[in-house]
Amino acid sequence: MLVIIFNYKELVAVHMADVLVSPAVGGVFWIVSAYLTAKSSAVLKKSDDTGKTALMGVLAAFVFASQMINFSIPGTGSSGHIGGGLLLSIFLGPERAFLSMVSILAVQALFFADGGLLALGCNIFNMGFFPCFIAYPFIYKKLSEKIGGTKGIFWGSLIASIAGLTMGAFFVVLQTAFSGITSLPVNIFLLLMLPIHFAIGAVEGFATAMVVIYVYSKMPGVLTESETESRHKEMKRAVAVFALLALVTGGLFAWYASSSPDGLEWSIEGVAGSAELEAPRSLLHSFSALIQERFAPLPDYAFKNKATSENMGTTVSGLVGSIITLTLALALGMFFRKRNGRP
């Protein structure tokens, strides 16, 4: 099972795609992320410390590059990589780490189609806000200070990474649910996402701890001088407001999802034993039964004789219309390119 989880982790990584987000949800999270970005930038501007500008750029590139290395996990046949947001927070402090994450996610969305323009706000919130402003200051810092030394770094990284990733995954479910794109019931989606991200978080936390401990053993000074900005009142207030909002929305959503499995926009009518779906224990049973029984590529696949001619007429018209429009677009593009003096 673990092998499957980790081999497919790239598929379920918390990057939201444009197609999974409705304009309203995408817009709301764009505004939230833009606000957090503006606040973080304002805090950095006030601190007027350009000494870490180069460090931010190089460390973001480091996170980008190091996430390409897949460390194998002995005995499982699967792999994992270091966690970006938490590592950046440890070395740069929350505000700089958040802005670095924004830059990484923007490059991923624009260059690698990982995410998208509309979903960028969601991705920044899920992968930037939680690790940098929640997991780092409230979990990593507290734990590493309390336990101290390499043990503190280890437990802090592990737990903060798990917490950050799980919260992000929860918000992926929430954003997809509010967008109403998939028919996947919320509770099943949660059941799919949370355990997987818990496991991925543990691996990322472990890898991050190894790297931070290595650097700590060679250059202990780097970690102690890292963050100074998080004490800023303004930023603290903004973070507190969003954390509270996230908590309330998440809480209401979880309550709603659990109290009415058919809630939001989904209908699981026709799914084998909808009553069974309400209890978490029988959920897995009905889920596996569902896959076994219902895995038919095209249920009731058959051509209807009646009204076929009428429908086929509409289909032909639709296809002809589409092909003509698209051919015209291609021809126009080539025409204007030639007019622009290019081959």
Residues 131-160 that bind other proteins (CB under 8 A): none
Q: Establish if 4 lies at the interface with other proteins (CB under 8 A).
A: no
- Determine which helix (DSSP H) or strand (DSSP E) holds 71, and give its type and residue range: strand 71-73
> What is the three-class DSSP state of 184?
coil
Taking CB under 8 A as the binding criterion, the range among 162-170, 226-234, 246-254, 289-297 that sits at the site for other proteins is 289-297
CA dist list (Å): 294 to 183, 288, 324 = 15, 10, 38
Taking CB under 8 A as the binding criterion, the range among 106-114, 133-141, 156-164, 243-251 that sits at the site for other proteins is 106-114
- Determine which helix (DSSP H) or strand (DSSP E) holds 73, and give its type and residue range: strand 71-73
204-243: contacts with other proteins (CB under 8 A):
206-207, 210-211, 213-215, 218-219, 222
Q: Establish if 196 lies at the interface with other proteins (CB under 8 A).
A: no
Q: Establish if 273 lies at the interface with other proteins (CB under 8 A).
A: no
CB closer to other proteins, 211 vs 254? 211
Q: Establish if 187 lies at the interface with other proteins (CB under 8 A).
A: no
Residue 15 DSSP one-character state: P
Please give the structure tokens belonging to residue 146: 């309390």
Beta bridge partners of 80: 71
- Alpha-carbon gap, residue 169 to 186, rounded angstroms: 13
Q: Establish if 275 lies at the interface with other proteins (CB under 8 A).
A: no
80-99: contacts with other proteins (CB under 8 A):
80, 82, 99
Inter-residue contact 22 to 181 (CB < 8 Å): yes
CB closer to other proteins, 247 vs 338? 338
CB closer to other proteins, 240 vs 328? 328
CB closer to other proteins, 166 vs 179? 179
In the complex, least distance from residue 84 CB atom to other proteins, rounded to whole angstroms: 12
- Binding test (CB under 8 A) with other proteins, winner from 7, 249, 288, 311: 311
In the complex, least distance from residue 72 CB atom to other proteins, rounded to whole angstroms: 5
In the complex, least distance from residue 156 CB atom to other proteins, rounded to whole angstroms: 15
Q: Establish if 69 lies at the interface with other proteins (CB under 8 A).
A: yes
Residues 6+ apart with CB under 8 A from 148: none
In the complex, least distance from residue 142 CB atom to other proteins, rounded to whole angstroms: 23
Taking CB under 8 A as the binding criterion, the range among 68-76, 163-171, 226-234, 235-243 that sits at the site for other proteins is 68-76
Helix axes 233-259, 186-218, angle to 10 degrees: 150
Helix axes 23-47, 233-259, angle to 10 degrees: 160
- Alpha-carbon gap, residue 254 to 262, rounded angstroms: 13
- Binding test (CB under 8 A) with other proteins, winner from 7, 182, 228, 260: 182
- Binding test (CB under 8 A) with other proteins, winner from 32, 36, 60, 122: 60
Q: Establish if 274 lies at the interface with other proteins (CB under 8 A).
A: no
> What is the three-class DSSP state of 22?
coil
Which has the closest alpha carbon to 11: 208, 290, 197, 250?
A: 197
- Alpha-carbon gap, residue 172 to 190, rounded angstroms: 9
Which has the closest alpha carbon to 211: 80, 311, 108, 112?
A: 80
Site for other proteins (CB under 8 A): how many residues? 124
- Binding test (CB under 8 A) with other proteins, winner from 23, 149, 273, 280: 23
Encoded amino acid at 235, one letter? M
CB closer to other proteins, 55 vs 254? 55
CB closer to other proteins, 151 vs 337? 337
Tokens 């990733």, located at residue = 165
